[in-house]
């Protein structure tokens, strides 16, 4: 069976209001719409995806995200063009998000172009553009070696 992508990703954060102040303008910039905004949850859908944000339980408020721990490393939105990646980079800088790297090409697939930045809890987000289907093609001829 072939799936139809990922329906949503849900992130758990320390300070929901601070995270909403970051994610709501970012996700609206991605043509997503807020459909849930309560004291306990925030959820946007659009651009063929959904992102949910919920508050961490109080006993975890002193924990910090680290991408090498068990669980989420980062997640990546796929842009339609390189110019979109550049425009998103400018938007992210305007939000004051910590930027890990600005627009750059990389070796993950031919034409791979991306930015990498962090949310208020240090969770890493990437936005990339790969010409054509890239690694999402139905058949990958040769695996990428790192």
For the segment(s) 1-57, the CATH number from 2.40.37.20, 3.30.230.70, 3.10.180.10, 3.30.2310.20 is 3.10.180.10
Domain ranges (residues) in the chain: 1-57, 74-133
Strand pairing category for 41-46 and 99-105: unpaired
Which of the 8 DSSP states describes residue 79? -
Ordered alpha helix ranges (H), the chain: 16-29, 82-95
Whole-number pLDDT of residue 52? 97
Q: What's the number of CA atoms in the CB half-sphere (13 Å) around residue 65?
A: 19
pLDDT band at residue 12 under the 50/70/90 scheme: very high
CATH architecture designation of domain 74-133 = Roll (3.10)
- Strands in 23-106 per DSSP E: 33-37, 41-46, 49-55, 74-78, 99-105
Do the domains 1-57 and 74-133 sit in the same CATH topology, yes or no?
yes
Per residue in 132-146, pLDDT (tens digit) is 866 655 455 555 565
Per residue in 53-110, pLDDT (tens digit) is 999 999 988 888 888 887 889 999 999 999 999 999 999 999 999 999 999 999 888 8
């Amino acid at each position: 069976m072939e799936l139809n992508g990922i329906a949503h990703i849900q992130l758990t954060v320390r300070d929901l209001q601070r995270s909403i102040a970051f994610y709501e303008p970012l996700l609206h910039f991605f043509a997503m719409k807020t459909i849930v905004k309560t004291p306990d949850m925030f959820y946007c859908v659009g651009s063929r995806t959904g992102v949910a944000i919920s508050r961490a339980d109080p006993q975890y408020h002193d924990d910090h995200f680290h991408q090498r721990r068990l669980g989420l490393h980062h997640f990546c939105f796929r842009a339609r063009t390189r110019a979109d990646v550049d425009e998103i980079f400018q938007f992210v800088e305007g939000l004051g998000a910590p930027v890990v790297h600005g627009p750059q090409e990389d070796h993950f697939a031919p034409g791979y172009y991306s930015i990498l930045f962090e949310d208020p809890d240090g969770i890493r987000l990437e936005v990339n553009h790969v010409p054509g289907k890239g690694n999402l093609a139905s058949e990958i001829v040769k695996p990428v070696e790192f």
